[in-house]
Amino acid sequence: MPKSFLIKNQSELKNIAKQVLTKKPKLLALTGPLGAGKTTLARVIGKQLGIKQVLTSPTFVLEQVYQLPKNSHYQYLIHVDCYRMKSRAELPALDLEHWLSQEKTLVIIEWADKIKSWLNKFKPTWIKIEVKDKTRKITL
Ligand SMILES: Nc1ncnc2c1ncn2[C@@H]1O[C@H](COP(=O)(O)OP(=O)(O)OP(=O)(O)O)[C@@H](O)[C@H]1O
Ligand SMILES: [Mg+2]
């Protein structure tokens, strides 16, 4: 059953990130319009996993790989942004099959709906962000 949360400020994302991580997901597929807060949520999740550097939008590089501290459940966080992806020919470069076959790896994909049918075979956890006025509705 999908669960929705209404949030009014970024500090509430911490709680959402915690909820998401308790299930020890391997693949998070984020959807939502421009500026919805996909990168922001990815950043909060990354921070919770112990990433010290600021997680920035991987818009121009498609994919960024972060190594996580030894005490984390995960060893790597892979942050992908499909916004500028022009065609499916770019999919193999993401090396998703490889990353998802790794034990301690979490992959987070922004604009995941652009590759929805391809992605569904990996059974992602979909996270939808909707914005209305100043309120965000996040559905897990
Ligand atoms: N939960 C939130 N509450 C309030 N403001 C937020 C929230 N999440 C994000 N923002 C603000 O919205 C703006 C856009 O956020 P962000 O870059 O994370 O969106 P995005 O969905 O990744 O955008 P893009 O589609 O360009 O990738 C930022 O200025 C951020 O501070
Ligand atoms: Mg973004």
Per-domain residue ranges of the chain: 4-16+25-139
* pLDDT at residue 54 in the model: 75
Are 53 and 84 within 8 A, CB to CB?
A: no
Atom of ligand 1 nearest to the CA of 43: 18
Assigned architecture for domain 4-16+25-139:
3-Layer(aba) Sandwich (3.40)
- 109 CB under 6 A from ligand 1? no
Instruction: Encode pLDDT of 56-115 as tens digits.
Output: 776 667 889 999 998 889 999 999 999 988 888 889 988 999 999 998 999 999 999 999
pLDDT at 122 exceeding the cut of 70: yes
Which tokens is 74 given? 């995960």
- 10 CB under 6 A from ligand 1? yes
Distance CA 60, CA 91 (A): 15
Considering only CA atoms, which residue is closest to atom 15 of ligand 1?
37
> Is residue 35 exposed (0-12), middle (13-18) or buried (19+ Cβ within 10 Å)?
exposed
Q: What pairs with residue 78 in β-bridges?
A: 65, 107
